[in-house]
Amino acid sequence: MSLSGGRPAVTRVAETASSWDGAPLPAYPAGRPQVTILRATIPPHATLPRHTHAVVNAGVILRGELTVVSDNGTERTFRAGEGIVELVGTVHYGENRGDGETEMVMFYAGTEGVPLSESADL
């Protein structure tokens, strides 16, 4: 394969065996693999519901910033261009504390029939 117009620029955004809080990521679930990619836009000053994930997921903040808060009070703010490796099995929520929208793309490595997230406020 030849390239015209120059060489592509590739940047590794994230590579880790841990979520953003340092917890080790679990093994991938058994079963037929299912990859899901979601693009989300979060309004200014919005708080997402408390939830958990059963599958490994990671993403990139495209625009704005997102603060993720776990139930134990640990929090981290991710800004445009940064990768986020989400918590798995830990209750958490996200907040857009800024004055502009936050846009992000998330990638889920799951299994058919396993939900991407579940509400923690049932």
The tens digit of pLDDT for each residue in 13-48 reads 999 999 999 999 999 988 999 999 999 999 999 999
Residue 106 lies in a domain: yes
Cβ contact 118:52 at 8 Å: yes
35: exposed, middle or buried (C-beta count within 10 Å: 0-12, 13-18, 19+)?
Answer: exposed
Question: Which pLDDT score is estimated for 122?
Answer: 62
Task: For residue 85, tell me if it sits in a domain.
Answer: yes
In a domain, 19, yes or no: no
Is residue 17 situated within a structural domain? no
Share of the chain above pLDDT 70, in %: 97
Q: Please give the residue range of the domain that contains residue 71.
A: 33-114
Per-residue burial over 13-25, b if 16 or more Cβ lie within 10 Å, else e, is: eeeeeebbbeeeb
Q: What is the pTM of this model?
A: 0.90
Total tally of structural domains belonging to the chain: 1
Instruction: Tell me, yes or no, whether 88 lies in a domain.
Output: yes
With the CA atoms of 57, 59, 64 and 67 taken in that order, what torsion angle do they form, in degrees rounded to the nearest 10? 30
Q: Is residue 42 part of a domain?
A: yes
**CATH code of the domain containing 57:** 2.60.120.10
